Amino acid sequence: MVNTNQLRHFIEVVERGSLAAATGPLGITQSALTRSLQKLEESLGCELLERDRRGARLTAYGESFLDHARAVIFELDRAGESLKAIQGLSEAQVKIGVSPNFLTWILPEAIAAIVARYPGINFRISTATAEDLAAQVKRCDIDLAFCQTFFNPQAKRGGRDPELNFEKLMTARARAFAPAGHPLAGRGAISLAEAAAHAWVVPFKLTINYRFEQAFLRANIPVPVQTINSASISFCKSSARALGLLMLMPEHLMAEDVAAGAMLPIDVPELAMEHDVGLFTRKPANNQPVVRHLAEVLRRLCAEQDGNSANAV
C-alpha cells in the first residue's frame, strides 16, 4: 500500500539528487529513507530510482511516476489548506505564476476582487517566461499561470500535452517605441535594416526578447545592439527615456508614456507582434474554490480588455 510519506520521500530524493542530501530536509535517517523507497517500489512492482555512489537517478518508470506523485501531494496539500481555511485555523495560499507585464495590469484588479471575498487569503506570486511557467504548473509548483505566449502552449513531442491545459483569454499586442526627439520618432514606415542601426532596450529572458531577435535573424540582418536587457519593465522604460533608446514593449505598458508624449510608437512592421494571453492549468483542473474564482475573475477582466481593444480599433 502506497502512503503519502513514501511519495514525499521519493520526490525529495529526486529533487535533491541523492538519499544523503534528502535526509536533512526530511528529518529521517538514510536507512529509514532507503526502507521507505524500497516499500514504495515493492508496492508499485517496479524500480523507480537507480542508486549508486554518485546519487540517485530516475528510471523510465520513475520518470513516468514522478509527475503523478507530485500531483497527488499537491492536491492533498491544497485540500488540507482549504479545510483549515474554512475552519479558520489558517490562511489559504494561492501560488500564481505570471508574465511580468501583468504585475501592474489586470492581475492587481483580479487579486483585489479575490481578497474582498476571501479576506484571509495569501498570494505567492512569481514571474517567468511562459515556457517556464508551463513547466511549473506541470510540476505542481504553482496553482495556475496567467501569462502571454508566442509558442504553441500545449505542444509536446508526439502531440498535445495530456497534463497541461491552456485557455486563451485574449489577444495582446507589442510594438516598437522611440523616445520623443529620437531620429525615428514621428517617421512613417521604418525598415528592419534601419531599425537595426540603432541601439535598443529589450526585456531580458522574456518571450518577447526571443521574438525580437528572431525577426532580425530571419531577415539575415544582424541583431541590433541591445544596450539594456532587464527583466524589470519599469527599468527598461526609464532607461529608454534616459538614454534615448528604442524599445520593444507590449502596447498596454506604454499607454501612459505615449499619452504624456514621452514615448512614441514607431512603425516597424516586422516588430508588430500579437500574442495569446491566457491560463495554464493542470489536467484535471485544480478544484480549490479560490483558484476557480480567480480564474473566473481573470476571464471577466480579459474579456473586458479584449472588448476595449476591439472598440479602439
Q: How many domains does the chain have?
A: 3
More confident residue, 89 or 118: 118
Same-domain status, 157 and 40: no
Residue 96 confidence (pLDDT) above 90: yes
| Inter-residue contact 254 to 176 (CB < 8 Å) | no
b (16+ CB within 10 A) / e for 220-258: ebeebebbbebeebeebbebbeeebbbbbbbbbbbeebe
The CATH number that applies at residue 34 is 1.10.10.10
Q: What is the mean pLDDT of the chain?
A: 86
Supply the pLDDT for residue 259: 95
Q: What is the mean pLDDT of residues 123-130?
A: 90
Residue 289 confidence (pLDDT) above 90: no
| Inter-residue contact 170 to 196 (CB < 8 Å) | no
Same-domain status, 180 and 269: yes
pLDDT band at 206 (very low <50, low <70, confident <90, very high): low
The CATH number that applies at residue 88 is 3.40.190.10
Same-domain status, 201 and 252: yes
Same-domain status, 164 and 205: no
Residue 203: asked if its preceding bond is cis (omega within 30°), the reply is: no
DSSP state of 269: G
pLDDT band at 163 (very low <50, low <70, confident <90, very high): confident
Supply the pLDDT for residue 86: 56
Supply the pLDDT for residue 196: 96
Same-domain status, 110 and 147: yes
Supply the pLDDT for residue 307: 66
Residue 298 confidence (pLDDT) above 80: yes
- Amino acid identity, position 65: F
Q: What is the mean pLDDT of residues 56-71?
A: 88
HSE-CB at 13 with a 13 A cutoff on CA atoms is: 32
Same-domain status, 94 and 220: no
Torsion of CA 211, 182, 259, 169, to 10 degrees: 0
Supply the pLDDT for residue 91: 63
Boundaries of domain holding 48: 4-69
b (16+ CB within 10 A) / e for 160-198: ebeebbbbebbbbebbbbbbeebebbeeeebebeebbeb
Same-domain status, 49 and 134: no
Q: What is the mean pLDDT of residues 68-74?
A: 83
| Inter-residue contact 101 to 251 (CB < 8 Å) | no
Which of these three, 14, 41, 69, is where a domain ends?
Answer: 69
Residue 251 confidence (pLDDT) above 50: yes
- Amino acid identity, position 242: A
| Residue carrying C-alpha cell 533608446 | 245
Residue 9 confidence (pLDDT) above 80: yes
Residue 75 confidence (pLDDT) above 80: no
pTM score, whole prediction: 0.68
Q: What is the mean pLDDT of residues 261-290?
A: 88
Same-domain status, 177 and 263: yes
Supply the pLDDT for residue 183: 95
Same-domain status, 146 and 282: yes
Residue 191 confidence (pLDDT) above 80: yes
Which of these three, 13, 36, 69, is where a domain ends?
Answer: 69
Rounded distance between C-alpha atoms, residue 69 and residue 298, angstroms:
29
Residue 101 confidence (pLDDT) above 90: no
- Reference 169, options 298, 283, 7; nearest CA is 298
Q: pLDDT tens digit string along 128-162?
A: 888 889 989 988 889 999 998 865 555 554 445 77
Same-domain status, 179 and 271: yes
Least confident of 27-31, 84-88, 173-177, 182-186: 84-88
Supply the pLDDT for residue 89: 40
Supply the pLDDT for residue 177: 97
Same-domain status, 280 and 261: no
Same-domain status, 163 and 305: yes
Residue 8 confidence (pLDDT) above 80: yes
Q: CA 172, 177, 180 angle in degrees (round to 5)?
A: 140
